Amino acid sequence: MAKFIIENNGPLKGEVTVSGAKNAVLPILAATVLTDEECIIDEVPDLKDVEVMCSILRCLGAEVKTYPEEGRVSVKMSSKVNTDPDKELLQKMRASILVLGPILVRENRATVWLPGGCAIGERPVELHYKGLRQMGSDIEVDDSGKVSTETDGLKGTEIYLDFPSVGATENIMMAATLAEGTTIIENAAQEPEIVDLANYLNKMGAKVKGAGTDIIRVEGVEKLHGAEHSVIPDRIEAGTFMVAAAMTRGNILIKNMLPNHMVPVIAKLRECGVVVEETELGVMVKADEKPLVSTDIKTLPYPGFPTDMQAQFMALLTTVEGSSIVIETVFENRYMHVAELKYMGAKIKVDDRCAIIEGNKKLKGARVRATDLRAGAAMVIAGLAAEGKTELSDIYHIERGYEKFVEKMQGLGAKISREED
Ligand code: EPZ
């Protein structure tokens, strides 16, 4: 197994360019199931998760051509979608659930397979089922994770989401584009990735209104056509580099990021004393002028502070002046990185969803592991500021979701290398 070796190499400096958003490209690739015409997606990050989604599309009957060097993927789904895709393949990635709505609305039946829970929580999907059932489908789930659905034809209706689930909003929105009549999704997720998906669906000829608000209205149409689309920049990758700059008291320029997708993260960094400035060339992040101080974080669905930035920010908070409180409200078990940070000398107390982080800690390099994608990024950030060498294992989590992570960090002067164990 591969691992990262990270050493404290002083303040990060220089510039880095953000790639396309993993959590936008995955639903957008799923949306290509909705048409048998060619779809061209640009700004696609070269990630394991993207590879898996492309394999799933091929298994469904699509011709998929990937051009990783250009960040382009072309998908042409067959006129008849395979409604019984391979179990192994679908169980590789949670986001595979996103093809359920598109297959069902095209073929009136679909079988998908769910992976078990993951490090950050049980990850139920009953809200996906709730919406598709209300649109007129029968859904059966057996204890092997097999999800079998069929319908006489999905019909638009009003659907209230008990929680503004990103995936459920995406699945229902995609199914609604070809359903008969109008679907209204209430308490919808408002993430920028939802807006990007809706923009792509509308380029395909769909009639989606209200994406980015808590009420999304979709008027079903007969057919969707192929379309081209460039995926939005990855706000979580951008946030990860901002926090890495803060952690090393560095001074970097981040290109191709959208600050208006990052308001809570930028606000919290500024509360800690980090200077964040928008310039024509990109966003300057400077933490080399004064000592950083503590702040409190509460993760919430968008536009609140993103849960996907909680672990990275917690690593930073172990080194600022004063204690901080972090409350994780989105996932029930997203503190797996706490034990790893404590191996490095962090002082953190967790009680249910609340973590109290003592500041002013000088972290020490240690042998730690990436417990999930964002926790892994947090451990790299901790290693950049720790005394001595940090060995990080299970880095496959990181390579799922960050394109060219080592090269980009090295480009900022980080002393990080990848070794086979
Ligand atoms: C998406 O996951 C992202 N993944 C996650 O990013 C992100 O953390 C999450 O949204 C929240 O922003 C992708 O977009 C591929 P949810 P998703 O449905 O859709 C509960 C990363 O690091 N819930 O909004 O699975 C669920 O258990 C990943 O890039 C239900 O209870 O998230 C969780 O506690 C991690 N029932 C909360 O809602 C449901 O039917 C948020 O889940 C669905 C969800």
In whole angstroms, what is the distance from residue 371 CA to residue 334 CA?
Answer: 10
Output b/e per residue, 124-150; b: 16+ Cβ within 10 A.
ebebbbbbbebbbbebeeeeeeebebe
Whether 343 contacts 368, CB under 8 Å: yes
Give the residue among 314, 313, 264, 271 at the shortest CA–CA distance from 292: 271
Q: Is 39 a catalytic residue?
A: no
Return the H-helix or E-strand segment holding 409: helix 405-411
The residues with which 358 forms a beta bridge, in sequence order, are: 347
User: Would you say the CB of residue 335 lies under 6 angstroms from ligand 1?
Assistant: no
User: Would you say the CB of residue 240 lies under 6 angstroms from ligand 1?
Assistant: no
pLDDT, residue 365, reads: 98
**pLDDT tens-digit series, residues 176-185:** 999 999 999 9
Q: What are phi and psi of 197, to 5 degrees?
A: -65, -45
- pLDDT > 80? residue 121: no
Work out which ligand 1 atom sits closest to the CA atom of 191. 12
Give the residue among 45, 41, 47, 38 at the shortest CA–CA distance from 29: 41
For ligand 1, atom 21: residue with the closest CA: 308
User: Would you say the CB of residue 121 lies under 6 angstroms from ligand 1?
Assistant: yes
Active-site residue identified among 39, 59, 118, 272: 118
Q: What is the CA radius of gyration of the chain?
A: 21
Q: Determine if residue 121 is left, alpha or beta; phi over 0 gives left, psi from -120 to 50 gives alpha, anything else beta.
A: left
pLDDT band for 354, please (50, 70, 90 cuts).
very high
Whether 8 contacts 386, CB under 8 Å: yes
The Å distance, Cα 308 to ligand 1 centre, comes to 10
For ligand 1, atom 32: residue with the closest CA: 166
The Å distance, Cα 164 to ligand 1 centre, comes to 9
Whether 125 contacts 172, CB under 8 Å: no
Top mutation candidate among 48, 99, 166 for ligand 1, by most atoms within 8 Å of CB: 166
Q: How many residues does the chain have?
A: 421
Top mutation candidate among 190, 330, 353 for ligand 1, by most atoms within 8 Å of CB: 330
User: Would you say the CB of residue 153 lies under 6 angstroms from ligand 1?
Assistant: no
In whole angstroms, what is the distance from residue 14 CA to residue 234 CA?
Answer: 19
pLDDT band for 144, please (50, 70, 90 cuts).
confident
User: Would you say the CB of residue 291 lies under 6 angstroms from ligand 1?
Assistant: no
Helix 192-203 to helix 22-31 angle, to the nearest 10 degrees?
30
**Any idea of the CA torsion for 225, 229, 39, 48, to the nearest 10 degrees?**
-140
Task: Indicate the pTM of the whole model.
Answer: 0.97
The Å distance, Cα 257 to ligand 1 centre, comes to 22
**pLDDT tens-digit series, residues 319-350:** 999 999 999 999 988 999 999 999 999 999 99
For ligand 1, atom 44: residue with the closest CA: 165
Distances (CA, A) of 81 to 84, 214, 222, 338, 341: 9, 31, 17, 44, 46
- pLDDT > 80? residue 271: yes
